[in-house]
Chain A
Amino acid sequence: MAIIGLIAGAAACNKDTSSSSDTASGSNCGYKLAYFGALTGSAANLGVNIEQGFELAINQYNKTKGSDCITVAKFDSQGAAEVAPGVARNLVADKKILGVVGPPFSGESEAADPIFEAAGIPTITPSATRVSLSANGWKTFHRAVANDDAQGPAAAAYIKDTLKATKVFIADDQSAYGAGLADVVKSKLGSLVVSSDKTEGDGKQTDFSALVQKVTSSGATALFYGGYYTNAGVIRKQLTAAGWKGTLLGGDGMKDPGLSKASGVAAAVGTVVTCPCSPPEAAGGTFVNDYKAQWNVAAGTYSDVAFDAANIFLQGIDAGNTTPEKLNTYLSTVNYKGIANTYKFTSTGELDPTLIKVWAFKFDQSGDAKSDVEIKTS
């Protein structure tokens, strides 16, 4: 039945695009690409950024191929690992879906990716960065951004080469993410580190006067904090109140306007965060304007990567890879130049190491982190 459906769909599409001179392109219609990730829930904003980039790519593709050539399918996981498996089973039941852009978060990826793997549907995540995701032997897993391992060396390189700090204080919140990141930065900076300390996790400590005192008396001009924006905002505020004028740095966990909401914008200005993402406004082509025209908002973090991920699938379908198996094989050899990056995947589905990009973002008067420089680590 499915095959008949596919043929019928392809035939229907053929009529619309019979004028096309390309022999392969017009015929590969009647399929679906899916977005899987948060559309509602507490982290909805991050998911919507990605879904809109994904949908924009398909809309643009359909403009040249016929209005219903590739259908957008949306699956709302609420960004929650406990919701994701059920939604993923619904997704794999739809046999017209050839590929999935998502899941955006690491937790839901761990819950849903095994289901996609069992169904043989290829996925490209534009934003899940937990390192271990690629170590499960999944054949259908692909990651279009750098993983968390890339951030530590990049942050260290920024401190050394751009900030040119010679006395650095390292602290972390004892979380898997924060401590892992801080340890990498510490080992990469070596003798530049004058001292280090640890804090309690988010919301478990509000008085950081001991840490502030240690940072101040160490003479450090830079503090790298492995942790999230909640603690970082309070620490920045108390450092400023104690008269410390150095630079606070951190990873993408601190890339949130919540930091300046706690510290006040004046104290937050100059705080630097790294992110394995490119600034959306730096994307090539007409993407920035197209996105704005379609959605009436500016492209957000990872919108551009999701746009590229959708186009990677579309290029594969256009070339005649019209089963999930064929599309997955195509991904293993793809070399696609998109608007945010060039994409080539290793055998474990990671982005080729030579293509990894990490950017530094700096908090400015708007209270949000704006792109500063791309960090070269290799």
Chain B
Amino acid sequence: MNFSGLINDFGPLTVTGLAQGAIIALFALGYTLVYGVLRLINFAHSEVFLLGTYGCLIAWGWFGLDQNSKAPNFGAMLAYMALGLVVAIVASGLTALAVELVAYRPLRRRNAPPLAFLITAIGASLAISETVGVLTHRNQRGVPPIIQARTVITIGDTHITNLQILIVVLALVMMFVLDRFINGSRLGRGIRAVSQNPDSAALMGVNKSRVISLVFLLGGLMAGIAAVMYDLKIGVTKYDAGFLLGIDAFTAAVLGGIGNLRGALLGGLLLGVLQNYAAGLFGSQWLHAAAFVLLVLILLFRPTGLLGESLGRARA
């Protein structure tokens, strides 16, 4: 164990971990929202994210941008960011809606058992990711340098870049907006109602199908934003990018308390930071193992996650 290494690099490991954790948190929201309403783990959410990572790359490609392009000036950067976000959000949002319409809704109509949902979820996930794999020849695709990483704040040995700040701030803002939407708007009230008791909600005049579509769409929007941030931070995407980060995101959702929005944020940030600490302390080969051991330990003492399972219940 390398304690001195961890202590020396504590600041930088925390900062890079928070940035990674913020992406995981945005991604995790999709799992948590759908679970909160349907009690269903939407495994295809990883591909909702995946198509977002390709969506913005394709949009930037329209303007001739590839991994070898020069970083654009400030004005162009803002325009490209706006475009990338919009296209990624549309790509992810439409994918989420399509998955719900094709893979889940027909099963719900027939009152299929939960196992059937699980299998179609995994099936949809594999079908999309393998199709992307075949279409891209399973090659990596490099991301153009839309935002040139630049140190803007220095605290001791810790350099914080513009990109890291953007990722964390964007995640916090989106989380706040989503939280307000669920807890403060009329549509959000519908989501909470279906989450608490679908049948009563339907009797009270809530359109259940529309609420479910809305929940998938919201998860897709968050995944689209996460996808753009991922592209900019990691620098490449590949047909299995969603699967890899999806495991982290799902873990974060469980860690924070699945079905709980604030839990997803807490779980994501915690997981991102803990993975980096584990890498610093034991070496990067322990990155995943150490984080998951900790997950098991936390669940032993708090089986419903750190903040508990709730989408509607806690503040109903």
- Residues of chain A having any CB pair with chain B under 8 Å: 171, 174, 195, 197-200, 203-214, 216-217, 230, 233-234, 237-238, 241-243, 258, 261-266, 367
A263 CA to B145 CA in the complex, in Å?
Answer: 10
B151 and A262 contact, CB distance less than 8 A = no
- How far apart are B311's CB and chain A's nearest CB, in angstroms? 29
Q: Do A210 and B16 touch (CB < 8 A)?
A: yes
Contact of B157 among A171, A217, A230, A367 (CB under 8 A): A217
* Contact call B233/A258, Cβ cutoff below 8 A: no
Instruction: Tell me the B212-255 residues at the A interface (CB within 8 Å).
Output: 233-236, 238, 240-241, 244-245
Partner of B20, one of A200, A209, A230: A209
A213 partner, pick from B16, B139, B141, B275, beta carbons under 8 A: B16
- Known interface pairs A214-B280, A234-B234; A242-B142 also in contact (CB < 8 Å): no
A-B contact pairs, 7 of them (CB 8 A): A197-B284, A212-B16, A234-B140, A234-B236, A237-B142, A264-B68, A265-B67
Assuming A210-B279, A243-B151, is B287 touching A205 (CB within 8 A)? yes
A203 touches B284 (CB 8 A): no
CB-contact partner of B244 in A204, A208, A238, A263, under 8 A: A204
Task: Give the distance in Å from the alpha carbon of A212 to the alpha carbon of B20 in the complex.
Answer: 14
Known: A213-B13, A230-B140, A266-B68. A198 touches B145 (CB 8 A): no
- How many whole Å from B281's CB to the nearest CB in chain A? 10
Q: Which residues of B contact A211 (CB under 8 A)?
A: 279, 284
User: Which of B16, B149, B240 lies at the interface centre, i.e. has the most chain A CB atoms within 10 A of its CB?
Assistant: B16
Distance A210 CA – B12 CA, assembled complex (angstroms): 9
Provide the bound-state CA to CA distance between A244 and B141, in Å: 22
Contact A197 B12 (CB under 8 A): no
B67 touches A210 (CB 8 A): no
**Beyond A204-B244, A233-B236, is A261–B283 a contact (Cβ under 8 Å)?**
no
> By the criterion CB–CB under 8 Å, are A213 and B9 in contact?
yes
Q: In whole Å, how far is B43's beta carbon from the nearest beta carbon of chain A?
A: 19
Does any Cβ of A come within 8 Å of B285's Cβ?
yes
Nearest 9 A/B pairs, CB to CB: A210-B279, A209-B16, A264-B67, A198-B285, A237-B235, A262-B140, A241-B149, A262-B236, A213-B12
List of B residues within 8 angstroms of A241 by Cβ: 149, 235
A207 and B67 within 8 A (CB): no
> Contact: B288 with A200, CB < 8 Å?
yes
Bound together, the chains give a CA A199 to CA B283 distance in angstroms of 8
Interface centre among B139, B233, B284, by most chain A C-beta atoms within 10 angstroms, is B284
Q: Which residues of B contact A209 (CB under 8 A)?
A: 13, 16-17, 19-20, 276
CA distance A216 to B9 in the complex (A): 10
Measured between C-beta atoms, what is the minimum distance from B82 to chain A in Å?
22
Indicate if the CB atoms of B145 and A207 lie closer than 8 Å.
no
Contact B139 A261 (CB under 8 A): yes
Alpha-carbon distance A207/B279, docked complex (angstroms): 11
Beyond A207-B234, A209-B17, 7 additional contacts (C-beta under 8 Å) are: A195-B5, A200-B285, A243-B159, A261-B141, A263-B142, A263-B235, A265-B67
Q: Which residues of B contact A199 (CB under 8 A)?
A: 284-285
Smallest Cβ-Cβ distance to A197: which chain B residue = B284
**If the complex has contacts A217-B9, A230-B140, are A265 and B68 also in contact, measured as CB distance less than 8 A?**
yes
> How long is the Cα–Cα vector from A76 to B145 in the complex, in angstroms?
42
In the complex, how many angstroms separate the beta carbon of A94 from the nearest chain B beta carbon? 35
Q: Establish whether residues B235 and A234, one from each chain, have CB atoms under 8 Å apart when the complex forms.
A: yes
B8 located at the interface, meaning its Cβ lies under 8 Å from any Cβ of chain A in the complex: yes
Asked if B279 contacts A262 (CB within 8 A), the reply is: no
A-side contacts of B238, CB under 8 Å: 203, 206
How far, in whole Å, are A233 and B140 apart by their CA atoms in the complex?
Answer: 9
Question: In chain B, what residue has the closest Cβ to A229?
Answer: B140
A residues less than 8 Å from B9 (CB atoms): 213-214, 217
Given contacts A210-B287, A213-B16, A243-B151, contact A203 B280 (CB under 8 A): no
Contact between A242 and B149, CB atoms less than 8 A apart:
yes
